[in-house]
Amino acid sequence: MQSKNNMLLESKNANVDVKSAGSITINGDSTAEITSNTLTRLHSNAAIELNSGSTISSYSSSTSSIRSGSSMTLQADSGNLNFETSGGKAILFANGNFGINVASASAKLQVGGDAIISGTMTSNDYYSPSDRRLKENIKPIDNALEKVLSLQGVSYKWNDKAKNIKSIGFEDSNKTQIGLIAQDVEKVFPELIHTWTATNNVANETNTTKNSTNVEEQATEVEKSVKDEFKAVDYSRLSAVIVEAMREQRSMMEDLEAEIKKLENQFNKQ
C-alpha cells in the first residue's frame, strides 16, 4: 500500500484486518491512516514496515499494544525517541542518554524524582553534591559523640511484612542484616530519615463458606493491598556525624592527657 498524498482505510462499525503470509509495507509520503471503531489488526508472518517521510502516529481511546514473537526495534534515525503518558515522560535522547521526567539528560540515566531499586545496586563511585558554594547556614554538629552513643547497632532479619512489600523486593529475607533502627535515629538525627510509601500485600480472613451439610464454616484468606509509610536511614550522611564524634572524643582525650601531664609534674616536684 503506497500513497504520495493521503491514504485512508476506515471501518465505521467493525474491524480492519490486514493479513499477509509475507511482509506488509505501508508507505506514505504525506499521510497514511488506518482507523476503526473497534479493532485494527496488522498481522504478518514476516516483516511489517511503517514508513513515513514525516510523522507516524498511533492513537487509541482505550488500550494499545505492540507485540513481537521475537526481537523488536524502535529506532529514530535522528532526534529523540519519546515515551509519554498522562503521568510523565521518558526520553531516549539522540546522544544515547536516557531521561525520565527531565528535559535533558547529562548522564546515561537521569531521573527527575525519586527512584526505588528492587535489588542490589553496584557502582564504582557514588557522589553527593557537597560544594561549599552551594550551602548556607553552615554550622558544626553539636554533641555528636553523645548522640552517636545513644544509638545502638543491631543485627536482624526481615519479617513477613517486609517480604510482602513487592516494590522493594527483600531478596535476602532469610539473611542476617546489620544496621540501625530508623525510629531511634530519628530521635537524635531527624535529618537522616526519609519516609517512603509502599504497597503492602496483607492477608485478610473475611470470607467464609459453608459446606453442603451446613455444619462447618471455612475461612479463606483474601489478599488485599494496603498503602503504608515506612522509614529509611541515610547511612551515607551518618559519616559526617561519626567524624564530629571522633573529633569530640579526640578533644576529650587531649584534655585528659594534659590533666595527667599536669598531675605528673606536680608529683615530680614533691
Q: What is the mean pLDDT of residues 198-215?
A: 58
123 lies in some domain: no
Q: Which of 55, 52, 46 is nearest to 20 (CA)?
A: 46
Provide the domain limits for residue 22.
1-73
92 and 190, same structural domain? no
User: Does residue 182 have a pLDDT over 60?
Assistant: yes
* Res 107: pLDDT: 92
| Overall domain count for the chain | 3
Shared domain for 98 and 59, answered yes or no, is no
Residue 208 confidence (pLDDT): 52
The per-residue pLDDT for 228 is 87
**Per-residue model confidence as pLDDT tens digits over 11-39:** 667 777 777 777 777 777 777 777 777 77
Residue 261 inside a domain? The answer is no
Task: Quote the pLDDT of residue 5.
Answer: 67
111-130 tens-digit pLDDT: 998 888 877 778 888 888 89
pLDDT of residue 35: 73
Specify the higher pLDDT residue, 13 or 88. Answer: 88
Distance of CA 180 to the CA centre of its chain: 23
Clarify whether residues 66 and 159 are in a common domain: no
Tell me, yes or no, whether 211 lies in a domain. Answer: no
Q: Please indicate, yes or no, if residue 122 is contained in any of the structural domains.
A: no
Based on the fold, state whether residues 48 and 80 are members of the same structural domain: no
Average pLDDT over residues 168-189: 86
